Amino acid sequence: MDSARWRRITAIFERAVELAPAGRAALLEHECAGDAELRREVEAMLAADATGDTFDRHAQDLRGSAAADWVEWNSSDRTPASFDGHTIGPWRVVRELGRGGMGLVFLVERADGQFEQLAALKLIKRGMDSDAVLARFLRERQILARLEHRNIARLLDGGLIPDGRPYFVMEYVDGVPISQYCAEHGSDLAERLRLFFGVCAAVQFAHRQLVVHSDLKPSNVLVGANGDVKLLDFGIAKLLGSEGAAATQTSNRPLTPAYAAPEQIRGEPLTTATDVYALGCLLYELLTGHRPFRLHDEPSLEQLRQVLDSTGPVAPSHLRAADAPVPPQRLRGDLDTIVLKALKREPDRRYATVDALAEDLKRFLAGLPIAAHRDSNLYRARKFVARHWLATTMTALAVLALSAAIAVAAWQAREKAAEARASSEVAGFLVGLFAASDPTHTRGAIVSAKDLLDQGAAQLDQPRLANPLLRARFLHAIATSYASLGLYDRALPLAEQALALRREHLSADDLAVAESMDGLGQIHAFTANYDAAEPLLRGALATRREHLSKDDPAVIESLGHLGNLLQDRGEFEAADEPFREALDRAERRYGAGAVETARSLDDYATNLQNIGKPVDAEAMYRRALAIRERQLGADNPDVASSLHNLGVILTTAGKYVEAEDVLRRALAIRRKVYGDAHPLVGFTELELASVLESRRDLDASEASAQRALAILRGSLDESHRKISDTLNLLAILRVDRRAYDDAVTLFGEVAQRHRRALGADHPDTLVTEDNLATSLYYAGRFSEAEALQRELTTKFRGDAGSGANVKNLQHLARTLEQQGKGSEAMEVARRALELQRELTGEQSRPYALVLRELALAEFFGGESDKAEAHYRESVALVERLAATGGFGSYGWKIPFADFLVGAGRCDEATPLLHAAAQEMDKADNANPIWRPQANLLLGACLQRSGRSAEAKPLIAGARTALQALPAIERDLYPTARREYAAGGDRVAAAPKRD
C-alpha cells in the first residue's frame, strides 16, 4: 500500500468515526464504491477504535514503498539516536524526548526557514502500527485539533512519513510534571491548588467539547518555568457519544493503573466522571505526596479489582507521612471530604462535573461551606451488608433493612443539604417577591415588572439570602432586568454589587465573574461611560475565550457586546473584527437561518452602514428581519429591533415611504412590549422623526422628536448620545423652518456635548460641527462658516469620515461661491466629487448630488461648457435612479433649467421646468424653495417669448413665495437671482467671478 492509499484510508476513517452507524454505512457506500479492500481497511480501523482490540497485522500490511533513507532509518538495527537531524515534513529532529506505549516523541525545530519554533513531534513506533494503534493515534490528532485552550498543549501540524505512518506536532512544553514542580519549588497549599485549578479548567474545557481524557496523571500535566500548566497526551481520550455500544469492550483498553477509575478497570463505559476520579488521584498526590492506593509494580487487572473492591483510600490527613508537603491539620475536614468525594467508587457519587470539584475547592479557600459531605456510619453499614449479605442472619435482615432505609434517607438528605439551603433561600425570596403582587397588598392595582423588580431589590438586603454567591446571582439577574427596562440608574449599583461579591468569593477568571463583568460593562456602555465599559467587556471576553469553546454562545455574545461598544465610540473599523467574528461563529454554531444568527447579522449590518456600505447593510438587515419574523412572530421585540435598523438604512438610502412604514411597525411593537417610557421607544421615535423630516412633514417630525427627547431625558443620563442626537435633529428642524440663528445655538450645544463626551475628533463631533458651519452659512455668517469648514477638511480622515467630508466640501464650495471665490469653489467641488466616486461609485444618488454642486460651482466660476456637461450628466443619472429609488429628479432639473435660461435657451429649459412641476405635484415632501424658483424661471421664459400676460401671475406668485425665504436660499442659483432682482426687490449682489 502506498502513502496515497493510506491517506485515503485515514481521511475516510476520520470522517466516519464521527458518524452514527447508519451514517457510517452511507459514507462507506459512497466513498468506497467498487473498492471492497478499501472498505475493509476502513471498517477494520473503525472496529479497532471502538473495541481497543489489537489485530495481528503489522507494518508490512500498512506500509508502502519508502525512500531509501527512510528504510535505513527505520531498520531494526538503528537506535533512536539515529533519528537526530532527519526532517519530517517541515520539521527537523533535534533529539528524542521520550517514548510511550505506542509512539516516540521528539523535540523538533522548523526546517523550512519560515520562522523559528521548537515543537514536540509524536510518531508511531515501528511494530506498533496495528489497526488499533493507528486508529487511536489518528483519534488523538483529531481530538487535539478541536481543543484550543491555554492549559492544553496545542496541535501545530500533522502528516504522514513516506512509509505511511502518521505523525503530529504539538506545542513543546518546556516543563516538568506537576508533582515534581511542586516538590522542587516547595509549593504551599495555595500554590498547589492554583496549579490544580489550571488542570481543572483544561479538563472541563475538554468535557465541553465532549472529550474525556481518561489518562490524567502527573506526567501528563507539565508546569513551565512561568508556572503555567499544560495538559498533554490525549492518546487514549474518547469522544463522548461517538463510541457506540462497543465502547464497553475494553479488555485491551490502555490505562495507567495508579490513576485508573474503577469503571476503567471493570471495562465499563467512560464518562466525564472517569476524569473526575483521576483528578481526585492527582489532587491526593499533590496534597500528600503519595498516591491513593499502594499498588505493586505492573499489577494485574484482577489485583486491581481486589484492591478497589476491598478498601477505600485513606483520608489524606490520616497518612501522617514525615515528608507530607501540606500539614495534615490543613487537610483535616473539608479537604479530606472533597478528595474522598472525587474518589468515590461509584461514578454517580463523585462530583457531577469538574467545575463542581473546583468550585468546592474555591469555597474551601474562601472559608465557605462546601457542597460535599462525609459518608455517614449508616451509609457505610448499608454498603457492608451489601458486600456480606450471605453472612447476615434473617433476624438481623429486618433491622438492617430498616437501617438501610434510614441510611438512604439520611444520605439523600445530606446529599441535598446544600441544594436545599439554596432552594430554601430562593423559595423564600420568590415568595416574598410575588407576595408583593397579591391584591390584598396592592389593593387591586396592577403590579408592573418594574414594581416587582423594586420589591426584589428591596428584599436582597434581608437575611434570608445569606449565601453570598446566591445573592450575587439575584443581584445580577435584577440588574439585567432593570437594564432591559432602560432603568440604568437602578441597574448600575446592583450590577456593581454582584461583581464585587463574585470577585470576593470566586477566582478572577471564574465564568460567573465574567458574566458580571459583561453585564456591568453593558450598563456602562448604555449610559455612554465607555472608558469604564471597555475593560469590563474585554475582560469578560478574555475569560470566556479561555474557558469556553470558540463557538460558545457566551463568547459570541461577548464579541457582539464589544463590537457595539466600539461602534458607539465611533471606532467603526475596530468594531468590524468582533462583529465579523461573532457572525462567523454564530453561523457555524447555530446555522445561517437561526434566530441567534439574526442578532449577529443586525449588529454587523449596523457597522457596515457606519463604514459606508449601505447596500450590504440593507441586505443584511432584511435577512435578519426575515429570520426573526419567520421564527419569532410579528410582535416579538427582536423583530422590532430588525425593523428599527432597517428603517434607519432605508432613510439613509432615501427610501422614505418604506422607512416610515417599517419604523411605525417597530414603534408599535416596542410600545406594546416596553410601554411608552422605555428608551428603546425613544430611539425609534427619534428615527421616525428623522424620516418624517426627510419627507418634509415638519410638524409631525417636531412632535415625534419632542416625544423622543422627553422619553430619553426621563430614562437616560443627560450625557447619553441619543439625547444629543435628538437635539441635533431639532436643530435640523430649525434649519428647515429657516430659524437659522436658533439652529446655530442648538448645533453649538450638540457640538459641545460631543466634544465633552466623545472627543474633538470623534466622527459625531465633526458631523455636528459641519452642521453648525452650514447653519452659519445660512445665517449669512460666511467668514465664520468658511473658517470652520476649512478646519473640518483637515479633521475628516479615513473611510469612516469620507461621506461627511464630501458634505463638508460641498458646503465649503457654496460658502466660497457666496463670497465670489469661484475658482476655489470649483476646486473644492471637484475634490468632493472624487471622494464621492471612491465612496459610492458613479451610479448613486449622493454622486448625482455632488455632480450637481460641481456644475453650479462651474456656472459661478464662468466655465459654462463644463457646467452644462455636468448638469446634463447629473439629470440623466438621477432620472435613471429615481425610477426605482422613490425620490424625484426635480431638484436637478430646476438648477439645469436655471443654467439654460441664463444662456438664453428657454426652448430647452421650458420642458425641464414643466416636467419638474409635474413631479412636485405628486411629491409630498418637496422643498418649498423649488416651486417658486421654477415658476420664476418659467415666467422669465414666457416674458422673453412675448407672453407677458401669462408670465406676470407666475412671476408675482413666485416673488411672493421667495420673499418669505431668507436671501441665502433664494439667491442660490444665478439666473433666478437676477430675475428676482429685476423685479425691483433688493437682494444680495451676484457673486463676482475671479
Give 534-596 as a 3 state SS string: HHHHHHHHHHHHHHCCCCCHHHHHHHHHHHHHHHHCCCHHHHHHHHHHHHHHHHHHHCCCCHH
| Residue 462 DSSP class | S
Q: Specify the pLDDT at position 900.
A: 95
The domain defined by 633-737 carries CATH number 1.10.10.10:
no
Check pLDDT > 60 for residue 430. no
Of 847 and 966, more confident:
847
Structural element, H or E, at residue 741 = helix 740-757
Helix crossing, 822-840 with 845-861: angle to 10°?
170
Of 742 and 447, more confident:
742
Mean pLDDT, the chain, whole residue set: 79
Residue 6: strand, helix, or coil: helix
Least confident segment among 417-421, 787-791, 899-903: 417-421
Record: fold of 416-547? 1.25.40
Check pLDDT > 60 for residue 213. yes
Check pLDDT > 90 for residue 752. yes
**Tally of CB atoms within 10 A around 706:** 15
> φ, ψ for residue 105 (rounded to 5)?
-125, 130
Q: pLDDT tens-digit profile of 466-478? A: 678 888 888 888 8
Name the grid cell of 281.
488521584
Q: Specify the pLDDT at position 708.
A: 96
Check pLDDT > 60 for residue 400. no
Q: Specify the pLDDT at position 401.
A: 38
Q: Specify the pLDDT at position 206.
A: 86
Mean pLDDT for 149-160 is: 80
Find how far residue 196's CA is from the centre of its chain: 30
Q: In what order do the strands lie in the sheet with 166-171?
A: 87-88, 91-99, 103-110, 118-124, 166-171, 155-160
pLDDT tier at 577 (50, 70, 90 boundaries)? very high
**What is the rounded distance in angstroms from the CA atom of residue 467 to the CA atom of residue 935?**
80
Check pLDDT > 80 for residue 325. yes
Of 477 and 178, more confident:
178
Q: Specify the pLDDT at position 366.
A: 78
CB 179 within 8 A of CB 285: yes
The domain defined by 3-171 carries CATH number 3.30.200.20:
yes
Record: fold of 175-374? Transferase(Phosphotransferase); domain 1 (1.10.510)
Residue 935: strand, helix, or coil: helix
CB 695 within 8 A of CB 689: no
Q: Specify the pLDDT at position 906.
A: 95
Check pLDDT > 90 for residue 503. yes
Q: pLDDT tens-digit profile of 513-563? A: 999 999 999 999 987 788 899 999 999 999 999 888 888 889 999 999 999
Residue 388 neighbours by CB under 8 Å, 6+ apart? none
Please list, residue by residue across 97-133, b when 16 or more beta carbons sit within 10 angstroms of its beta carbon and e when fewer do. Answer: eeeeebbbbbbbebeeeeeeeebbbbbbbbebbbbbb
pLDDT tier at 425 (50, 70, 90 boundaries)? very low
Q: Specify the pLDDT at position 173.
A: 87
pLDDT tier at 379 (50, 70, 90 boundaries)? very low
**What is the rounded distance in angstroms from the CA atom of residue 222 to the CA atom of residue 802?**
53
Q: pLDDT tens-digit profile of 261-320? A: 888 888 888 889 999 999 999 999 999 999 888 765 566 666 676 666 655 688 898 876
Burial of residue 30 (CB within 10 Å: 0-12, 13-18, 19+) is exposed
**What is the rounded distance in angstroms from the CA atom of residue 758 to the CA atom of residue 667?**
28
pLDDT tier at 167 (50, 70, 90 boundaries)? confident
Q: One of 129, 131, 215, 275 is an active-site residue; which one? A: 215
Of 36 and 410, more confident:
36
**What is the rounded distance in angstroms from the CA atom of residue 582 to the CA atom of residue 551?**
9
Check pLDDT > 60 for residue 984. no
> φ, ψ for residue 99 (rounded to 5)?
-145, 145
Of 970 and 401, more confident:
970
| Residue bearing cell 444629543 | 724
Q: Which long-range contacts (CB under 8 A, 24 or more apart) does 641-644 make?
A: 641/602, 641/666, 642/598, 642/602, 643/669, 644/670, 644/683, 644/684, 644/687
Q: Identify the top-confidence range among 458-462, 834-838, 867-871.
A: 867-871
pLDDT tier at 51 (50, 70, 90 boundaries)? very low
Q: Identify the top-confidence range among 118-127, 744-753, 914-923.
A: 744-753
- Is 215 catalytic? The answer is yes
pLDDT tier at 55 (50, 70, 90 boundaries)? very low
CATH number of 811-887: 1.25.40
Check pLDDT > 80 for residue 795. yes
| Residue bearing cell 468594531 | 575
- Using a pLDDT cut of 70, give the percent of the chain over it: 75
**What is the rounded distance in angstroms from the CA atom of residue 410 to the CA atom of residue 428?**
24
Mean pLDDT for 623-632 is: 88
